[in-house]
Amino acid sequence: MTSTDIFAALRARTVAALEALLPDLPAEAFARVQMEPPRDAAHGDMATNAALVVGKAARQPPAALAQALAGRLAALPEVESAAPAGPGFVNLRLREDFLRAQLPAILAAGEGYGDSGIGGGRRVNVEYVSANPTGPMHVGHCRGAVVGDALANLLGKAGWDVTKEYYINDAGAQVQALALAAYWRYLQVLVATPEGQVLAAGNPALAGFAASAQGREAFEQAFGIALQYGGDYLVPVGQALFTAHGTGLVPAAGPPSAEVLELIRAFTVDAMMAEIRQDLAALGVRQDVFISEAALVRAGVADRAIADLAAKGLVYEGVLEPPKGKLPEDWEPRPQTLFASTKFGDDVDRPLRKSDGSNTYFANDIGNHADKLARGFAELVQVWGADHGGYVRRMVAAVKALSDGHPVPLDVVLTQIVKVVKNGEPVRMSKRAGTYVTLADLIEEVGRDAVRFTMLTRKADAQMEFDLDKVVEQSRENPVFYVQYAHARCRSVLRSGDEAPGGLGDLAAAPLESLTDPAELALIRRLAAWPRTVEAAALAREPHRIAFFLHDLAGDFHVLWNRGREDSTLRFIRGDEPEATRARLALVAATATVIRSGLQVMGVTPVEEMR
RNA sequence: GCGCCCGUAGCUCAGCUGGAUAGAGCACGCGCCUUCUAAGCGCGAUGUCGCAGGUUCGAACCCUGCCGGGCGCGCCA
């Protein structure tokens, strides 16, 4: 739908004009030609660097070329005037009726306005959240969830065929430890039942545990198992295990068997994932694919991927140099199975197997990425926390190696830490102190839309403060409010217009000549910049740009609204001027449409009225 | 010690993949509310873009080196 992007349209016109002026230049000479809004609005509506960019190849001084180009561009039907400027820019001022004509185009496109084809329908896999299923989601996971979801929406709007994915890390030592903790909670339930007491009579370990306060230490002592997790959130899981299996998970003596532990692990992971899905649903995140690391490993995907790399001569047994600086205490040289990631830009080669022969997390993740390649994705995107920054190069290297011959790019978006602030004080994230902020708590406190919007008011790679007081504040300082308020005002005006005699009618057919005020035209210019904003944000993988665009757009609208306070002829609805009213309502409807279009990308619900 | 991210107005941050005189909100100063649209509005002042070199018509943006903050650094995930 790039036909509705007036910047793309005039860029094409410019290139055509250049081709006419310089028929001998090859097409690629025009690749860097840009058509952008000038930083200073006084320069006009659009500016192109065309003369600067092709000047060298054309062997012409940019200023002279700009002069010639301006002459041709001035003759275009969309253009009011074109003038060379600075070292070789050409500034364009567009005809007002051309600008106004964007309104019916926006209204016809609806929320699809801004849809783009630059994705070319390429299949992209966006993996995000992928929190370990070892507990409920907390605010730390939240930013990645929101950024990932918005980025996926954005790519969809820009023409990619998007799959939203969650990789369940359910195969490592952490979930084994989690299973043990669930087992402890299960025994707590069990020993309180008559069946459990009967069982304890013939099982010394269980009897010892039952006779104690059944705390963490008592469990560790009775069964000789160290616990890493102790969270209350496993209490219901213990209960559910007992309900499902009764006394069936208790061995005659000692710790449970590997089979039983595997059963508990799977049960617990399912329970945690159910909780995480609930959290995601509360956040409005719905992923298409949940893929299990354990399932991929069982299916042999990781091993096959490593075999594939080995066949390319990229896997070897070797000994890594010790890391520089502070050595791990138990460091000793030892032979490991290594992937030659240095051949693809990494600093050191990376281990694929632990000394017990099992796969490292990296090895399994190679399997995860190989699986995506096998599913035919043309591009991969990962949204990770900043603490995974050191992991990026090796994974990019692995994907390069795996997709050798038909390269599939892997883009990693890192999200920096969120510091939660309340009453000007940082909220410490501590389970022990009971100040652990779960995602559910956060949503409960400030609402889903405020969480989502606020998480997108910073670049992903900049640290951010999340001020619990400010995000619910109803003032200009709060962008969530500011944008929602603009939409609510639009809707309010449109509702009033609808009640007027005759109603709104078809606004797309409204005569628009009366829209001549600078504030009205500024708003139209902003609306017309939406398609290029979508494209630029998608290409840069920067969903926060949508939030900033909406903030600017809301600002333009509020300015216009306030103009009506000073000058009643600038009110949107004027009883004495039905035609002017219809024109303004078309502008308001288009504004509401673009705000909704942007909020849709962000996953934020537009409100009809403020309360 | 090495790698990655960040460093822009007093504060919180943008800066559209290298463009023109670097922007917004807050805070600050001045003016504005009998009424229609004040959970405010208008106008104004505000900079060593961490520092120093380099690349080029042009650098906050790219390269190199320093300084400062964050994250990470062989069988955690």
Helix (H, G, I), strand (E, B) or coil at A200: helix
Q: Shortest CA–C1' contact from A38: which nucleotide? A: B20
Closest CA to A47 of A77, A15, A92: A92
Q: Shortest CA–C1' contact from A364: which nucleotide? A: B77
If you measure CA to C1', which residue is closest to nucleotide B24? A552
A255-260 long-range Cβ contacts below 8 angstroms, 24+ apart: A255/A223, A255/A224, A255/A225, A256/A183
Within 7 Å: CB of A539 and strand B?
A: yes
Distance B65 C1' – A324 CA (angstroms):
21
Distance B65 C1' – A347 CA (angstroms):
21
Q: Shortest CA–C1' contact from A571: which nucleotide? A: B37
Domain boundaries defined on chain A: 6-94, 126-168+289-415, 173-275, 475-602
For A6-94, which CATH superfamily applies?
Arginyl tRNA synthetase N-terminal domain (3.30.1360.70)
Distance B5 C1' – A396 CA (angstroms):
17
Distance B16 C1' – A479 CA (angstroms):
20
Protein-proximal positions, strand B, CB < 7 A: 1-7, 12-17, 19-26, 36-42, 57-58, 70-77
CA–CA gap between residue A149 and residue A378 (Å, rounded):
19
Q: Shortest CA–C1' contact from A564: which nucleotide? A: B37
Please determine, for residue A467, whether its predicted confidence score (pLDDT) is greater than 50.
Answer: yes
Within 7 Å: CB of A423 and strand B?
A: no
User: Which residues, in sequence order, are CB contacts of A409 under 8 Å at separation 6+?
Assistant: A379, A380
CA–CA gap between residue A302 and residue A488 (Å, rounded):
51
For strands A379-385 and A123-127, give the pairing: parallel
**Strand ranges of the sheet holding A379-385, from the earlier edge strand across to the other edge:** A289-292, A161-168, A123-127, A379-385, A410-415
Q: What is the CATH number of domain A126-168+289-415?
A: 3.40.50.620
Query: Over the stretch A229-257, which tens digit does the pLDDT of each residue have?
Result: 888 899 999 999 999 999 999 998 888 99
- The fold of A475-602 is Isoleucyl-tRNA Synthetase; Domain 1 (1.10.730)
3-class SS letters over A311-340: HCCCEEEEECCCCCCCCCCCCCCCEEEEEC
In single-letter form, the type of residue at position A423 comes to N
Most distant CA pair in chain A: distance in Å?
Answer: 99
CA–CA gap between residue A439 and residue A446 (Å, rounded):
11
Query: Over the stretch A497-533, which tens digit does the pLDDT of each residue have?
Result: 887 766 778 888 889 999 998 889 999 999 999 999 9
CB A4 within 8 A of CB A105: yes
Please determine, for residue A284, whether its predicted confidence score (pLDDT) is greater than 60.
Answer: yes
Within 7 Å: CB of A59 and strand B?
A: no
Distance B40 C1' – A547 CA (angstroms):
23
Matching residue, tokens 């619910």: A472
Distance B16 C1' – A566 CA (angstroms):
33
How many CB atoms within 10 Å of residue A121?
Answer: 9
Query: Over the stretch A333-350, which tens digit does the pLDDT of each residue have?
Result: 888 899 999 998 888 899
Within 7 Å: CB of A429 and strand B?
A: no
Q: Which two tokens stand for residue A203?
A: 């099982």
Q: Shortest CA–C1' contact from A331: which nucleotide? A: B74
CB A582 within 8 A of CB A510: yes
Within 7 Å: CB of A452 and strand B?
A: no
Query: Over the stretch A11-31, which tens digit does the pLDDT of each residue have?
Result: 999 999 999 999 988 888 888
Predicted local distance difference test score (pLDDT) of residue A598:
96
Predicted local distance difference test score (pLDDT) of residue A325:
65
Q: What is the tally of helices (H) and strands (E) in chain A?
A: 23, 15
Query: Over the stretch A151-205, which tens digit does the pLDDT of each residue have?
Result: 999 999 999 999 999 999 999 888 999 999 999 999 999 999 999 999 999 999 9
3-class SS letters over A131-142: CCCCCCCEHHHH
CB A166 within 8 A of CB A290: yes
CA–CA gap between residue A318 and residue A309 (Å, rounded):
16
ipTM (interface predicted TM): 0.93
Predicted local distance difference test score (pLDDT) of residue A530:
95
How many CB atoms within 10 Å of residue A398?
Answer: 28
For strands A289-292 and A161-168, give the pairing: parallel
Q: Shortest CA–C1' contact from A555: which nucleotide? A: B24
Which element (helix H / strand E) includes A467?
Answer: strand A464-467
CA–CA gap between residue A36 and residue A164 (Å, rounded):
32
Matching residue, tokens 């945690």: A272
Please determine, for residue A1, whether its predicted confidence score (pLDDT) is greater than 70.
Answer: no
Within 7 Å: CB of A453 and strand B?
A: no
Closest CA to A235 of A296, A192, A200: A192
Q: Shortest CA–C1' contact from A475: which nucleotide? A: B39
Quote the percentage of chain A above a pLDDT of 90.
66
CA–CA gap between residue A564 and residue A339 (Å, rounded):
67
In single-letter form, the type of residue at position A181 comes to A
Percent of chain A that is helix, strand, coil (3-state, to 5): 55, 10, 35
CB A72 within 8 A of CB A497: no
Q: Which two tokens stand for residue A112?
A: 């699809």
pTM of the full predicted structure?
Answer: 0.95
Distance B7 C1' – A605 CA (angstroms):
35
Q: Shortest CA–C1' contact from A458: which nucleotide? A: B13
Lowest average pLDDT, out of A59-68, A248-257, A287-296, A318-327, goes to A318-327
3-class SS letters over A384-422: EEHHHHHHHHHHHHHHHHHCCCCCCCEEEEEECCEEEEE
Query: Over the stretch A538-590, which tens digit does the pLDDT of each residue have?
Result: 999 999 999 999 999 999 999 999 888 878 888 898 878 888 899 999 999 99
Question: Cα A156 to chain center, whole Å?
Answer: 12
For strands A418-422 and A410-415, give the pairing: unpaired
Within 7 Å: CB of A334 and strand B?
A: yes
